[in-house]
Amino acid sequence: MPSLLGIATGLGAAGSVEHVATWVISLLVLAAAIAIRVAWAGRRGNSDLRTLLRATVPAAWFVPAVAIVIAVATQASPSLGPRQAPTILSQPNSPNALPSITGHSWTSQSLVEQDDSGRTLVLTPIASKPHATAKEARQEALQLAAMRLKYEVERVYGHAGDWELSGDSLDQQKFITNEITTTRPYKLSSLAPSSEMYHCVVRLEVSDASRNWASGYWKQSVGAGRLKTIGTITGLLCLLIVTAHLYLRLDIASHGTHRGKLQLAAVAAVAAAGLVASTLLSA
Amino acid sequence: MSSGKFTFAPESTPLAGFTIKRGIQRGGFGEVYYAISDGGKEVALKLLHSHVEIERRGTEQCLNLKHPNLVSIIDIKEDDDGDTWVVMEYVSGQTLDQVLSENYPNGMPVDEVRSWLDGLASGVDYLHDRGIVHRDLKPQNLYRESGYVKIGDIGLSKIITPSQRGAQTESIGTIHYMAPEISRGEYGPEIDVYSSATIVYELLTGHVPFEGETAAEIINRHLTDQPDLSPLPRNLRPVLDHALAKDPAARTQSLGAFLTEFDDALAGRTPHSPINPPQPQPTPEATSVPVAQATEAVLQAPGSVVVVGSSHSRPGQAPIRRPRVFFPEDHHGPLAPRNISFSQRALEATAGMAAAILFTGLLASAGHLTGMFGDSQQSAPLTAVAFGLTTLLGAWALLVGTKAWEGTGRESLSIRRLSLLLLGGGVGAAGWWLHQVLLVNLPPLAESQTAGLVDSIGSLELVRNQQPTLAGYVMFFALLFGIRRWWWHTDGFRPKRLRVLSLLLTVTVSWILGLVLQFPLAAATGWGLGIAIVVQLSAPWVAPAHRRARLQQEGARHA
């Protein structure tokens, strides 16, 4: 995301669409501001062109200030896509065949149950590929379980932004209801000697509770970043309003004596804040 | 003071020999301009708009009056278009209304009151001696310039003759200062005594003796209530009681007598004449009919002009035609017509918007700290921010939307509602977007919301998966903004800064909308209450005591 400074100096690789949108919106704001001011002046009986134009000038400073805010908002907009409506996503296939482990029937099939409050939960086994060590096998099984849970969150709440749910975060969670690691002899080729390889199978609980737990990570990673972006834009907007108020207050108090200086100061303040906001967003 | 633009712009010369510099006042019967003659004399030019002949006749009678306490009428002229202009002495001093509002909102010192009364009595007695009743004495018509009290607007004055007393005339008066017998069509000099006594009462206490929410209530009180004299200095109570008598025959007979009684009371002397004659009880024909008629008229005509009166005769008199009396319905309320400049609107709107940031922050923080948004470390802050930002956007939209139409009177009510409806739709869309972007879900629907209520409009779903859709948000906020009279929350002339009743009403409307549109009730009432609190606390408010001064300032700025 190029910063406003980059755009202004031509150093950033800003998309042309962003530029066009900024310019279009800025020009529309300019046109609207002039139209409102002229209409207001006309309403008060001042209808000759010179009077109307003179009445328009005091409002003109607001246009570059608003344009700066719009430019920053446009810069941030790609990261602020709303949630897409939940759709039927393709379930991530477990690439690994479920091993049948004697005495552990849960490793070979999913089970649909109801929790204490009568809500449905699915207990599904997820198996790792064969690994040289038990630790590696377990890590893969947990990672696959995390992927499955991420899919469940997006299936229910919709997709928004890029986020990750690590297998490590599932470790020691109550949503892994069962876990078993076994060894099996594997031969890489007919010539090679067979060796023991480790399989890990975990049983994941897919329920409201596990989805809520996982959605916390979703909100933490995606939401926090967006919160920062929206906070920055809102702060800039608030500054624009406070600046406009102070400008009007001082202008009225000084009977327009220092109007030009006040307009310059107001635009400078908003521009400075815009550059800071843009830099923050591009960081 | 009235709203609307003036016919002539500064530097125009509609009347030969005079250059208009600015408009001063605009009323139902004309416009008053400050102008300079070709010779350099400052004058006030009054352009007569309506009832020109009546106005002209009244003014002609006053044309040659000369008194230091009266604003002189210099001439009456016609311009090339045949319009009639009254050329008057220009008075640059403050009106009594301004003096009272700015310097003595709780009442003047007695010495100061006495000095105003002195000039008032001198000028009014001069008029009465020549058979003229002013009929519209009020603080806005009294000026002080170079130490002299000046009585203005004597163009409304009418000659007192047996044939004309109570005849068909028209008067524009202010009901707070209007004598009770005016409702019966009686226009004797006693009405000026009553108005002057009302002014003196106001000068001493800071408020008029009879206040009320509506014109009808004030008329009722003038006709039936006894004034509360307890706020007055003890020695002046009998004097004011005498001058405010309901029966003109029992009232102090002249301003000079009123002044004498006033002075006697201050000096602790026994009055020359009994000032507390027994007050006759108002007779049915003197009170009940006009009260009923006045009240009915006010209720039937909710606009700014109320017509009171019909044929009515007193025993022993020939039937007289009751004059029409025009009552401005609401001088100082949210629908009061005002001349608010663009920069003043912008200033007040931005002041409210800046304050809304603070109040919304406090509200959302308080909700977060009290666990209103849940106790999840991940989602509670996001929920608080989404709620707060939606509330802030709603408050900003309302502050801007209502400020744009403030002071435009009743004529703009439809466009106000339409603009607020559209703004509400925009706020709804923004609120939905915020909740999607911040990954926040509203609380689930209550059990009472799941059956038999609207969940779609045509093919447009309002609810999906227990959550309002974009259409649901837009509908809820559009209707909330369009149904409520938000200008009663934000107008500078609203009755109180924070009205609990308005808050409760807004919460009720939000709750009903939540039920109808299947919008989660907790969120619906939360936003209704939050937005109402924020806009009321944030929107600039003018205390009632300062409203007259504000109107004067706005009028001067407008001119």
**Main-chain phi, psi angles of B483, to 5 degrees:** -80, -45
The H-assigned helical ranges of B404-469 are 413-437
**Which pLDDT score, from 0 to 100, does residue B485 have?**
92
The two three-digit tokens of residue A25, written as one number? 């919106």
Q: Which of residues 403-442 of B touch A (CB under 8 A)?
A: 433-434, 436-439, 441
Rounded percentage of chain B residues whose pLDDT exceeds 90 = 34
B9: which chain A residues are within 8 Å (Cβ-Cβ)? 45-46
pLDDT of B508 strictly over 70: yes
Confidence of residue B379 (pLDDT cuts 50, 70, 90): confident
Q: What is the pLDDT of residue B363?
A: 94
- Inter-chain touch B5–A44, beta carbons under 8 Å: yes
Residues B544-558: pLDDT tens digits? 878 777 776 776 555
Nearest to B439 among A41, A83, A249 (CB): A83
Looking at B288-370, which runs of residues are DSSP E strands? 324-326
**Residue A120 burial (CB < 10 Å; 0-12/13-18/19+)?**
exposed
Rounded CA separation B501/B503 (Å): 5
- pLDDT computed for residue B315 by the predictor: 37
Helices and strands, counts by H and E, chain B: 16, 16
Contacts of residue A187, Cβ cutoff 8 Å, sequence gap at least 6 = A193, A194, A195
Chain B contacts in chain A segment 224-263 (CB below 8 A): 226-227, 230-231, 234, 238, 241-242, 244-245, 248-249, 251-252
State the smallest CA–CA distance between residue B378 and chain A in angstroms.
6
Cβ separation of B5 and A43 shorter than 8 Å? Answer: yes
- Token couple for A50: 């010179």
pLDDT at B500 over 70: yes
Q: Could you tell me how many helices (H) and strands (E) chain A has, helices first? A: 9, 4
State the average pLDDT over residues B220-228.
85
- Mean pLDDT by groups of 10 residues along chain A of 283 residues: 47 52 71 72 60 69 84 83 70 64 75 78 86 90 90 84 84 84 79 81 89 85 86 93 93 85 90 89 81
Asked if A282 and B384 count as a contact pair (C-beta separation under 8 A), the reply is no
Q: Given a cut of 60, is residue B313 above it in pLDDT?
A: no
What's the mean per-residue pLDDT of chain B? Answer: 80
Angle at alpha carbon of residue B454, lines to B452 and B456, rounded to 5°: 130
Say what the pLDDT of residue B4 is.
53
CATH architecture of B18-89: 2-Layer Sandwich (3.30)
- Domain residue limits, chain B: 18-89, 96-300, 342-558
pLDDT, position B10:
86
Q: Compare B262 and A84 and report the one with higher pLDDT.
A: B262
The pTM assigned to this predicted structure is: 0.56
Model confidence at B166: pLDDT above 60? no
| ipTM higher than threshold 0.90 | no
Angle at B420 between CA B416 and CA B422, to 5 degrees: 120
Q: Under CATH, which number does the domain B96-300 receive?
A: 1.10.510.10
What residues in A contact B430, CB-CB < 8 Å?
none
Q: Which residues of A touch B464 (CB under 8 A)?
A: 85
pLDDT at B312: 33
CB of B416 within 8 A of CB of B405?
yes
Q: Give the pLDDT of residue B292.
A: 44
Question: Tell me, what's the pLDDT at B272?
Answer: 53
pLDDT reading at B362 higher than 80? yes
Phi-psi category of A121—alpha, beta or left, where left has phi over 0 and alpha has psi -120 to 50?
beta
